[in-house]
Chains A and B, each alone.
Chain A
Amino acid sequence: DQQVKQNSPSLSVQEGRISILNCDYTNSMFDYFLWYKKYPAEGPTFLISISSIKDKNEDGRFTVFLNKSAKHLSLHIVPSQPGDSAVYFCAASARGAAGNKLTFGGGTRVLVKP
């Protein structure tokens, strides 16, 4: 039972344009959400997070939007750069979950074309 889903396995975008990555979740207890970026054969790096008390969080070129009623979050990257080509994972945790452990989606591979 996948509690966090990234339904688009891949995304291709032109350099300078916006990349929009989507993530859906089913567990209504999730209240903290994160996005990670991963290059091949490397560990994921943390990008941005959002708490359920907010609906938007921004950090430079990265903005995360949270729609609690739809159980949906998205990551916007503007403008997209070739170095953004990577796999992006969304993750979620529930308050009180043992170890504050994260549940990850399956990832979306982004290719930014020069």
Chain B
Amino acid sequence: AQTVTQSQPEMSVQEAETVTLSCTYDTSESDYYLFWYKQPPSRQMILVIRQEAYKQQNATENRFSVNFQKAAKSFSLKISDSQLGDAAMYFCAYVPMDSNYQLIWGAGTKLIIKP
């Protein structure tokens, strides 16, 4: 079965510092997509960053970057220069490239930003 695991229920970081959120997944597929979504108190699910498994280069979006380790099935999110607006639940999600479209989600990590 395909699963996504986020082992950190909660993380806190000082404003302007860097924080890394971990995500591991289990799959027998070789081609798939991985995503990080942010869910602020407004409940809107916002796409932060995505990674295609066949690309070795780690994805980057401004202050957000990932460390994608395909062999280890690890997909961590690094947030640099943390801002108060980054406070939210962060979810890691997976979807295989072929035949399926159902996103498989982790349980989420609550990120707290300390001013």
A binds B: no
